[in-house]
Structure 1
Amino acid sequence: MTRRPHILFVDDEPMIIEGLGRMLRPCRKRWEMSFAEGGAAALDVLRSRPCDVVVSDFRMPGIDGAALLEHVRAEYPGTSRIILSGQTDEHNLLKIMMLAHEMLTKPATPEQLIATIERLLAVPAADDGEERVPVAFGESLPSPPHTLIELVSALDADDASAASIGTIVERDPAITAKVLHLVNSSAYTAGRNVSDVGQAIALLGPPTLRGLVLLHDLIRVFDAGGTLPAAWIDTLTRHAIESSRLARLLGDGTEWQSHAFTAGLLHEVGQLVMASARPAEFRDALAAWKEGDSTLQEQEKRMFDVSHVQVGARLLGRWGLPDAVVEAVAGHAAPLPSGAVTSAAEAVALAHAVVEAEDGPVCGALAGATMELDATVRDAVSRWHRDRAH
């Protein structure tokens, strides 16, 4: 018999705990639910049985929500983490988004809470067979130092705007991932999924973005120890930029154009996660791939039992990015489409292959693949070539 998911709800107010129990009564056949009054009681529950999702208040006496989620992240990495709180000031938001996969503001509707839990349950757990993602590959993404310096300078300018900041953010996959992670909390989007970088920055505003960069050091100087090849991060970033530009052209005029651009920028984000978490071993995987005739994915699976494709898609799925973006990241190494491009996933796979063919491989997933381009696709590629020449 399949085990039902176990959801733990935590709040220091007995009336809120009772209200959650009543509100979620219809879910008893789908989930096993535990209710803990405060952080200490929640830790007792976690020690006693596996838990798939923790839903916690933020401000609690004793062990507060931040301390509880820090413990869950360290000791139970396969458990998804949700903050359900009325604390929405900038400092708390930044702290929350460092620790939680999702944030819901009180009072959340039953539909919001249930949908958020179900979406996180749908993301493969850390030990689910082929989709297993080792604990070491967490959520801290490196950025090129020059981009960080440029972004901080733009944020400090008197005429800082969403447009000026967005121009910089769109050039960097790591910063883009963090911005979209934060903006896809319900505190900003009221249940909508946002994948457009300009819209995300307009919703966040310069002060919060400055906090992301400066207060919590989310965007770290890449490879401070000098472990990885110096040119690797810049090569990967250029590949992501060009892939995103071509993917957007391939989706010109479609409803999925914005998703294609975002996924093009983020499709190699799994490599950044691996390089950040395990730099020495990832360097060895890169070297083995360059010297051999396999793909980088194959080398990663030999060394880590997982590939950057899986790591990146899982991370973005947990962060709440739109399904179309996650699917495109997960499918960027899939067989190339023939004929017209009809989805963000097809656009990203094709853009990735075209850019690798012209600029050199960054993972070699589709090395030697035959590309049969229809007239519409050829036109988009020609426009991309013209844009690059200027």
Structure 2
Amino acid sequence: MMRIVFVDDDPQVLEGLRRMLFGRRDVWQMRFFTDPQAALAGLEQEAAELVISDLQMPGMDGVAFLEQVRQRSCETIRYVLTGVLDHPLLGHAMRCAHQVIAKPCRPNILCEVIERAAAIKARLSEIKKTTLFSDLNDLPVMPDTHRKVLDVLASPNASPRRLGQLVAEDMGMSARIVRLANTPWFGRSGHFHDPVQAVLFLGVKTVEAVVLTEGIFSHLSPELVQTFGIGGLQAHCLRVGLLARTICLDLEFSAEQTEASSTAGILHDAGKIVLLLKAQEMFGQAIQQSRIEGLPLYEVERQLLGISHAELVGAMLQLWAMPAEIIEATACHHRPSEAASRLGSSSSATLADIICLADVIDHCLCSSGVDGVTPAFDYQRLGQLGLDEVVAEWTRRHIDIYNKDIFHECQYA
């Protein structure tokens, strides 16, 4: 049974939540507290899988409360439920909360949020059973900059221009977005200097993915960046996202699927960064063993760590409430047949198939820096999809673009 703790200093809010969720009391064990200190004492007596807290409270505010929850039980999923989305505390809350929920919140929305949290806990429980989890502690929260991007997108006045203005405030991010817009992958080169115009050209979803992966990569120390060639890994992620977009356009996927493929491609190897942050020695051993034994890196990761980088990024993106198709595509990009089986798409390409194909093509042409043995094409699956004859053409086009492209290696200050 899912154990949930609600904290809000307003008794009427808690009573409203109690009435709203009364019909779920048989499947969720819910406790309600007006005092954060009392909630902490209650959590000491009995843990909870999910804590949902108000932001503005007298004495101990929601940020201080959730930080205490994180320190005492890093496995607990932590959400903020607030009606003030422009409060200064919200920026601090983003560092210790996995999601921010706006109130008032309709019953069906809140139930969906809690059910999603239950699914997340099921996946994290599998991770906990591995030897990795003792070193992993908890998965990272969403980067601050990306949360700001999501706030902009959720605003009634959301626009690519406003997003471009936000990107322009971060010099490093601004430079990366402008460089991406000028890559030949998008059919133009050397025309953009203004980050606002670059965002208008690239589109919101592509920029959102770049901002997110930039935030993940920024956690690494300069020593790790140098030792593991992280610039090459991020460049690889960008190229995979762009190639996935090209493949989807060629296959006449919908605009929504094409955008999702670009996002998934850019994020597909973010699990490697989590492994570098939390299990560096074992991950380094996995890379070496993959190269020596000629086994795919994700297989060696599962042998040594109990989980692959692909499964790990899927769990992290699920925790951040990313769209289901992006979670599926990243988590299954080394085993796309699993996604096809779940989706009933044995004879048609899924986004996981596209990310897998783009990933292998790019790996075959160049190293990403954080690599084991170069992965191979699954020609049986490609034949099943009728794509085996066109792989050579996509590879040739990727070579042409790569030879011209500025994304050979992303630079870090």
Q: Name the TM-score class by shorter chain.
A: 0.7 to 0.9
Paired position in structure 2 for 1:180: none
The answer for unaligned runs of 5 or more in structure 2 is 144-164, 183-202, 405-413
Counterpart amino acid of residue 283 in structure 1: G
Contact kept, 8 Å, 1:340 with 1:377, in 2: the verdict is: no
**Shift of residue 379, structure 1, vs aligned partner:** 4.8
**Residues 1:6 and 2:7 are matched in the alignment:** no
Q: Structure 2: how far apart are the matches of 1:152 and 1:33?
A: 39
Paired position in structure 1 for 2:278: 277
User: Cα distance 1:293–1:137, how it changes in 2: closer, same or farther (>3 A)?
Assistant: farther
Paired position in structure 1 for 2:401: 387
**Shift of residue 380, structure 1, vs aligned partner:** 4.2
**Residues 1:297 and 2:304 are matched in the alignment:** no
Q: Structure 1: how far apart are the matches of 2:14 and 2:180?
A: 41
Q: 1:185-196 alignment to 2 at 5 Å?
A: 196=205
**Residues 1:366 and 2:364 are matched in the alignment:** no
Contact kept, 8 Å, 1:243 with 1:264, in 2: the verdict is: yes
Q: Which moved more, 1:237-246 or 1:324-333?
A: 237-246
User: Cα distance 1:197–1:90, how it changes in 2: closer, same or farther (>3 A)?
Assistant: farther
Paired position in structure 2 for 1:355: 362
**Shift of residue 376, structure 1, vs aligned partner:** 5.6
Structure 2 residue matching 1:196: 3-state secondary structure: helix
Q: 1:65-84 alignment to 2 at 5 Å?
A: 65-84=62-81
Paired position in structure 2 for 1:122: 119
Paired position in structure 2 for 1:176: none
Q: TM-score, length-normalised on structure 1?
A: 0.75
User: Cα distance 1:227–1:234, how it changes in 2: closer, same or farther (>3 A)?
Assistant: closer
Paired position in structure 2 for 1:29: 26
Paired position in structure 1 for 2:41: 44
Counterpart amino acid of residue 89 in structure 1: D
Q: How many pairs does the alignment contain?
A: 341
User: Percent identity among equivalent residues?
Assistant: 27
Structure 2 residue matching 1:354: 3-state secondary structure: helix
User: Cα distance 1:129–1:274, how it changes in 2: closer, same or farther (>3 A)?
Assistant: closer
Q: Structure 1: how far apart are the matches of 2:138 and 2:349?
A: 32
User: Cα distance 1:165–1:85, how it changes in 2: closer, same or farther (>3 A)?
Assistant: farther
Q: Structure 2: how far apart are the matches of 1:33 and 1:286?
A: 44
Residue 234 (structure 1) aligned to one of 228, 231, 247: 231
Structure 2 residue matching 1:126: 3-state secondary structure: helix
Residue 62 (structure 1) aligned to one of 46, 59, 63: 59
Structure 2 residue matching 1:35: 3-state secondary structure: strand
Contact kept, 8 Å, 2:75 with 2:137, in 1: the verdict is: no
Structure 1 segments of 4 or more deviating over 6 A? 162-165, 336-340
User: What are the superposed Cα offsets for residues 325-349 of structure 1, whole Å, 9 maximum, x if unpaired?
Assistant: 1101111111579998622111001
User: Cα distance 1:6–1:136, how it changes in 2: closer, same or farther (>3 A)?
Assistant: closer
User: Cα distance 1:168–1:326, how it changes in 2: closer, same or farther (>3 A)?
Assistant: farther
Counterpart amino acid of residue 354 in structure 2: A
Structure 1 residue matching 2:124: 3-state secondary structure: coil
Structure 1 residue matching 2:55: 3-state secondary structure: coil
What is the Cα-based RMSD across aligned positions, in Å? 3.7
Larger relative helix fraction: 2
User: Cα distance 1:347–1:119, how it changes in 2: closer, same or farther (>3 A)?
Assistant: same
**Shift of residue 303, structure 1, vs aligned partner:** 3.7
Structure 1 residue matching 2:101: 3-state secondary structure: strand
Contact kept, 8 Å, 1:140 with 1:273, in 2: the verdict is: no
Q: Structure 2: how far apart are the matches of 1:319 and 1:113?
A: 15
Contact kept, 8 Å, 2:294 with 2:373, in 1: the verdict is: no
User: Cα distance 1:113–1:259, how it changes in 2: closer, same or farther (>3 A)?
Assistant: same
User: Cα distance 1:86–1:278, how it changes in 2: closer, same or farther (>3 A)?
Assistant: same
User: Cα distance 1:137–1:311, how it changes in 2: closer, same or farther (>3 A)?
Assistant: farther
The answer for unaligned runs of 5 or more in structure 1 is 143-150, 172-193, 202-208
Paired position in structure 2 for 1:100: 97
Paired position in structure 2 for 1:344: 351
Structure 2 residue matching 1:301: 3-state secondary structure: helix
**Shift of residue 119, structure 1, vs aligned partner:** 1.0
**Shift of residue 60, structure 1, vs aligned partner:** 1.1
**Shift of residue 368, structure 1, vs aligned partner:** 6.3
Counterpart amino acid of residue 254 in structure 1: F
Q: TM-score, length-normalised on structure 2?
A: 0.71
Paired position in structure 2 for 1:334: 335
Contact kept, 8 Å, 2:209 with 2:266, in 1: the verdict is: no
User: Cα distance 1:237–1:164, how it changes in 2: closer, same or farther (>3 A)?
Assistant: closer
Counterpart amino acid of residue 220 in structure 1: S
Counterpart amino acid of residue 348 in structure 1: I
Q: Structure 2: how far apart are the matches of 1:298 and 1:283?
A: 14
Contact kept, 8 Å, 2:80 with 2:101, in 1: the verdict is: yes
Structure 2 residue matching 1:98: 3-state secondary structure: coil
**Shift of residue 88, structure 1, vs aligned partner:** 1.3
